[in-house]
Amino acid sequence: MVTEEEIEKVAKLMKIEVEDHKEYVDKVHAMIDYFDILDSAGVDDEEISMPEIPITALREDKHIPFDEKLIEKLNHYKGTYVRAPKMS
Amino acid sequence: MNLKISALDYVQEVQNGNISAEDFTAATLERIHSVDEKLHAFLSVNDDAINQAREIDKKIKSGDKVGACFGMPISIKDNMCIKNSKTTCASKMLENFVAPYDATVISKLKEQDAIFIGKANMDEFAMGLTTEFSAYGPSKNPWNVDCTPGGSSGGSAVSVSAFECVASLGSDTGGSVRNPASFCSAVGYKPTYGLISRYGLISYANSIEQIGPVTRTVKDTAFLLNMITGLDPNDNTTVDNKNEDYLSGIDSGVEGKKIGIIKEMMAEGTDPAVISATKDAVSKLEGLGAICEEVSLDMVKYSVAAYYTITATEAGSNLARYDNLRYGYDFSLEGYEFNSYIQKARKNFGPEVTRRMIIGGFVPSAGHAGKYFLKALKVKNKLTKEINEAFKKYDLLIAPTVPILPFKLGEKIDDPVALFLVDINTVTANLTGKPAISVPFAVSNGLPIGIQLLADSMNDKMLLQAAHALEQTVKLPEVPI
Amino acid sequence: MTKIGLEIHCQLTNLESKLFCSCKANYRQFEINENICPVCMGLPGSLPRLNQDAVKKATMIAMALNCSTPDKIAFFRKNYFYPDLPKNFQITQLNIYGDTSVGGPGSIMVGDKEIRITRIQLEEDPGRLIYEGSSSKNQITLVDYNRAGTPLVEIVTEPDFENPKQVREFLNILSDLLENLGVSDPSLEGAMRADANVSIEGGKKVEIKNIGSFHDLEKAVHFEITRQESLHSREIEIAQETRHWDDKRKITISSRSKEEALDYRYFLEGDIPWVTIDPAIQEKLKSEMPESISSKKERYVSKYSIPNQVADVLSSDKFYSDLFEDSHTESNAKEIANIITTDLMGLVDTREKREASKITAIHLRDLADAIQTGKISRNSAKNALHEIVKTGKDLSQVMSDLDLGNVSDESELLTVIKDVISEEPQAVEQAKSNPQTINYLVGKVMQKTKGKADPKLTLDLLKKQIE
């Protein structure tokens, strides 16, 4: 069973502010509880697999600049720097 | 102007000089203006469409080389980037995001002189299957406006079935193309993983999702695939399909094909009308010479839990970039420090996205990955092995696309687990990377039912041939709008 | 016993493009935020496109450090929020599903000490943060993303170092090795950075982050050991903590920020399939690798009888060893090694001087030949070298411009020799009884000819005159 504290901790980690508390906690609980079904799948011995690509198919090392001044299309910049809030 | 024609018929008509791209586009825009207030398939409409159509007509008249689309109006789910256009993912978070580049599918369709008539509505960041989680309000099912059109590519399916465009591109992470196609009586396609470049598709769960067409006919899907598939240097996960022509031989039929009927996808809780439509489809295919028998995929029972665990994990990471610093919506930095700013800024995510992010932080976290995330990956692996075994015996697999009929808007929105189970038949294709298609097959009490066919990886062409054969066995009523 | 472990971050500055996009790998020449694109800015919909050469070069580094190199490598996401990280996750490598980073366990000898390498991983560098504002109240953070996505190789060692001297020796070997492989220019600002962990006998492990150069790394380690020993001697417990290197004050400072244990939620990066590097390709990479420094040194010593120390210096510096390789023949090798290590090194001892230098292998070969055939004295050769480095002119041109050719005309030399004999009667007598002291007279001749007398001829003539 997932605790309320755990959900709050995770919300903080994900930079999510949870306001309507009960609503979130209940629904998130219900969703995570449903995942308990995975325990009975009997897959402990399974491996984890991924598609593969041969190194020769990877991009060649060439410098090709982006064709536009990307920075001018972005937000919050000061001079040519991107601005961020102060760090705590 | 007949807006109900298929994509291939449109091309034929323009080539024959019976219609012009400009007239067709103008009529399409008029159609959108008259019905979309009710249906809400679009989040934005291309103001420049008429001019673009006029340019294409000029090219046609002057005998210049014209792309295969001949100015065909296509809608694009609003999670694909079109350069210098707003791409919102139906989220307040990206309210003001203007893409500075074209998705690969967009570049390819531009080359073929397609016209992007508008950006289609969807569940926010593609998380949902009803479009009710769109930050800009749900789309309505043209068959019954009180019902959901399905999702997350609901806007795509609605726009095609309500004749607001000729075809559409959606994206399918766990059924997001096939589900609304089934609910709206359109053809919906989820290709083999890697067949279509995802470059420019805003990621939700990148390891399993694909862009897929929504069309009126199976042939139209094949026609679109011919233009948008293939290796893309911008996407390391694309596969080489050797310029396959999906249209040629589409009439090959299913004679002698072995088809497995997936037992777990007709389980308890499946609507009787859906069961009977599926049985009907099976006997129609048998009538065409296919050999059908039941097959069991044991892992399907766990597929939805595995699917939501994996997608939440990937979404939690994919959506981390939305901190509103480099792009996003207007919200001043003044008076905030880094953490508090981001937390405040990210309040613009809707409730479902927020919930899934919390889950996405939880299931792969250090203390819980073993119980949730790793198990989900292992279920994915075992399910893939099971389906690969099945494809040693069968050419194709069949199941209903969705176990239930389109339901009322608002009916399930508050019950996340009930919504989970609507995905039970579609997530397998995503978790295993296999191609799958939903073919409109029946209408029950005025609500559409789609039948799903699956094939082995890279057997997309055979899948389309079977789907085309199945499509030809029925004549469905016209959408009542 | 003191235990020191290192995590070294080395940018692959010699690549053309970044790790996942085609922006420039060496971002230093650009204006702020001019070396960016949708991919390295993590814009919605963008996907990483892995750089083939980055994988190859990182694999070469692993091979050079005697690490195992798997035939399949995987990339992972390390998830955390920071303004220098456009996607708010970093694509890196990890070994949670077997050894899937570019380099597995290995080791390298540092003097007599074996230093074990834990792993080598390939990852993307974040952007650069600049803090503006005088007080914490009005402080703002500015970000330059030019660096974001630069290919970075992280070398993680076991805590096998026992003192700062071993650390320094290791860093010297490592930077020479990286330069020799042609993957990186360690002298570029920010190209080499490091974290260290330090513990003394009976104390807890302390991490030091944010060390911006190899130079400071040694200092930081030294400082930290002294700090811990001082605490220990006063019987104050050494806390397990993370400290930051303050490069202005040259001390480590406790990171007091209540850093909660971060949970990075590592998982496989689905946008990059597992990259297969089959044995044939690995063999090919190995064969394409430049000769290692140690094997070069061995060759110099055994083949050309170059003294150990000279060979050491020559082989470990790519600039000099390249010059040597391109200029030497069997017969002039020793002479060229000599010119490089005794004369040239003094002339081009900084990066700027090296870059401005006009010397080529041809110059060196000509110079050695001229010395060996007596056309120029060693002394004049030094002057010629100076001019060549400056102007890049041919040796013959330089010799005639500066009048550096040897006086090898017998009658001309004889006149000088006779002068010396009459001026130095005492030395002449001495040379008669003790022939070794004749060198003094040779020196006098040299003085009079401003070093241009052919030394061999001078000696012969002198001997004859004295007898």
Distance CA C321, CA B187 (A): 67
Judging by beta carbons within 10 Å of its beta carbon (0-12, 13-18, 19+), is residue B477 exposed, middle or buried?
exposed
- As averages over each run of 10 residues, the pLDDT of chain B (481 residues) reads 97 96 98 98 97 97 96 98 97 96 98 98 98 98 98 98 98 98 98 98 98 98 98 98 97 98 95 98 98 98 97 98 94 91 95 94 93 97 98 98 97 89 96 98 98 98 98 96 83
Rounded mean pLDDT, C271-294: 94
The two structure tokens encoding residue B438:
């939903």
- Which residue did the predictor score with more confidence, A85 or C260? A85
Whether C312 and C392 share a structural domain: yes
DSSP letter assigned to residue C240: P
Residues 243-272 of C with CB under 8 A from A: 257, 263, 268, 270, 272
Report CB contact under 8 Å: C54, A61: yes
Report CB contact under 8 Å: C257, A56: no
* pLDDT surpassing 70 at residue C258: no
Size of interface A-B (CB pairs under 8 A): 153
Q: Which chains sit next to B, with 3 or more Cβ pairs under 8 A?
A: A, C
Domain containing residue B107: 7-250+431-471
pLDDT at residue C447 in the model = 85
Nearest by CB to C141, from A56, A61, A85: name it. Answer: A85
Buried b (16+ CB within 10 A) or exposed e, C238-264: beeebbbbeeeeeebeeeeeeeeeebb
Distance CA C313, CA C335 (A): 15
Q: Which residues pair with B98 in a beta bridge?
A: B86
Collapsing DSSP states into helix, strand and coil, what is residue C159?
A: coil
**Does C199 fall in a domain?**
no
Rounded mean pLDDT, C42-64: 97
In chain C, residues with a C-beta closer than 8 Å to the C-beta of A60 are 52-53
* B368 to chain A: closest CA residue: A2
pLDDT in tens, C181-225: 999 998 899 999 999 999 999 889 999 998 988 889 999 999 999
Whether C15 and C105 share a structural domain: yes
Q: Does B234 touch chain C (CB under 8 A)?
A: yes
The minimum CA-CA distance between B62 and chain A, rounded to whole Å, is: 32
Distances (CA, A) of B409 to A61, B127, B406, B414, C156: 52, 16, 9, 11, 55
Whether C127 and C271 share a structural domain: yes
In chain B, residues with a C-beta closer than 8 Å to the C-beta of A55 are none
Whether C398 and C414 share a structural domain: no
Rounded mean pLDDT, C389-415: 83
Buried b (16+ CB within 10 A) or exposed e, C353-387: ebeebebeeebbbbbbbbbeeebbbeebbbbbbbb
**Does C221 fall in a domain?**
no
Q: Does A1 touch chain B (CB under 8 A)?
A: no
Q: What is the pTM of this model?
A: 0.90
Q: Which residues pair with C8 in a beta bridge?
A: C155, C194
Whether C385 and C267 share a structural domain: no
Whether C39 and C157 share a structural domain: yes
**Does B426 fall in a domain?**
no
The two structure tokens encoding residue C267:
């998982």
Collapsing DSSP states into helix, strand and coil, what is residue C143?
A: strand
Distances (CA, A) of B138 to B132, B133, B329, B426: 5, 7, 21, 22
- CATH classification at residue B460: 3.90.1300.10
pLDDT at residue A75 in the model = 81
What integer best gives the mean pLDDT of chain A?
89
The two structure tokens encoding residue C151:
């290919």
Half-sphere exposure of A33 (CA within 13 A, CB side): 11
* pLDDT surpassing 60 at residue C260: no
pLDDT at residue C355 in the model = 87
Question: C86, C36 in Cβ contact below 8 A?
Answer: no
**Does C300 fall in a domain?**
yes
Whether C35 and C128 share a structural domain: yes
Distance CA B188, CA B160 (A): 11
- Mutation target to probe the B interface, by most B beta carbons within 10 A, among C19, C43, C77, C97 is C43
Whether C169 and C297 share a structural domain: no
Whether C417 and C391 share a structural domain: no
**Does C215 fall in a domain?**
no
Q: Which amino acid is located at C325 in the chain?
A: E
Collapsing DSSP states into helix, strand and coil, what is residue C92?
A: strand
| Interface residues on A facing C, Cβ-Cβ cutoff 8 A | 13, 15, 48, 50-56, 58-66, 69-71, 74, 77-88
- Give Cβ neighbours of residue C440 (< 8 Å, ≥ 6 apart): C424, C427, C430, C431
pLDDT at residue C111 in the model = 87
Whether C334 and C424 share a structural domain: no
Backbone angles phi, psi at C433, to 5 degrees: -80, -35
Domain containing residue C385: 293-402
Lowest mean pLDDT among B159-163, B394-398, C365-369, C414-418: C414-418
Query: Whole-angstrom distance between the N-terminal and C-terminal Cα of chain A?
Result: 34
Q: What is the DSSP string of C24-59?
A: BS-GGGSPTT-S--TTTTT-TT-----BHHHHHHHH
Residues 9-68 of C with CB under 8 A from A: 15-17, 22-25, 31-38, 41, 49-56
Pairing of strands C72-73, C3-11: unpaired
**Does B2 fall in a domain?**
no
Q: What is the DSSP string of A3-51?
A: -HHHHHHHHHHTT----SHHHHHHHHHHHHHHGGGGGGG--TT------
Domain containing residue A33: 1-42
pLDDT at residue C450 in the model = 78
pLDDT at residue C408 in the model = 67
pLDDT at residue A20 in the model = 66
Q: Is the dihedral of CA C124, C125, C126, C127 positive or negative?
A: negative
Report CB contact under 8 Å: C270, B314: yes
Backbone angles phi, psi at B77, to 5 degrees: -55, 140
Rounded (10°) angle between helices B218-228 and B460-471? 160
Rounded mean pLDDT, C47-56: 98
pLDDT above 70 coverage of chain C, percent:
97
Q: Which residues pair with C131 in a beta bridge?
A: C141
Report CB contact under 8 Å: C89, B317: yes
Query: Whole-angstrom distance between the N-terminal and C-terminal Cα of chain C?
Result: 69
What integer best gives the mean pLDDT of chain C?
91
Question: What domain count does chain B have?
Answer: 1
**Does A59 fall in a domain?**
no
**Does B312 fall in a domain?**
no
pLDDT at residue C460 in the model = 85
The two structure tokens encoding residue B50:
């008429």
Helix H or strand E segment including C243: strand C241-246
pLDDT at residue B271 in the model = 97
The two structure tokens encoding residue C149:
């996505």
ipTM above 0.90, yes or no: yes
**Does B53 fall in a domain?**
yes
* C89 to chain A: closest CA residue: A14
Whether C446 and C305 share a structural domain: no
The two structure tokens encoding residue B398:
């069949």
Rg of chain C on CA atoms, in Å: 29
pLDDT in tens, C322-360: 999 999 888 899 899 989 998 999 898 888 888 889 999
**Does C350 fall in a domain?**
yes
Question: B436, B454 in Cβ contact below 8 A?
Answer: yes
Q: State the Cα angle at C7 between C3 and C10, rounded to 5°.
A: 145
The two structure tokens encoding residue B246:
């999906």
**Does A53 fall in a domain?**
no
pLDDT at residue C12 in the model = 98
Question: What domain count does chain C have?
Answer: 3
Where is the domain boundary, C265, C283, C301? Answer: C283
Residue of C285, C34, C15 lying closest to A60 (CA atoms):
C15
- Known catalytic residues of B? 77, 152, 176
Rounded mean pLDDT, C21-35: 96
The pLDDT-based confidence of A21 (bands split at 50, 70, 90) is low
- Mutation target to probe the B interface, by most B beta carbons within 10 A, among A8, A16, A82 is A16
- Which residue did the predictor score with more confidence, B396 or A80? B396
* pLDDT surpassing 70 at residue C257: no
Distance CA B269, CA B424 (A): 11
Whether C342 and C441 share a structural domain: no
Question: B350, B133 in Cβ contact below 8 A?
Answer: yes
pLDDT at residue B24 in the model = 98
Report CB contact under 8 Å: C273, A70: no
Report CB contact under 8 Å: C275, A86: no
**Does C228 fall in a domain?**
no
Distance CA C391, CA C359 (A): 8
In chain C, residues with a C-beta closer than 8 Å to the C-beta of B335 are none
pLDDT at residue C413 in the model = 83
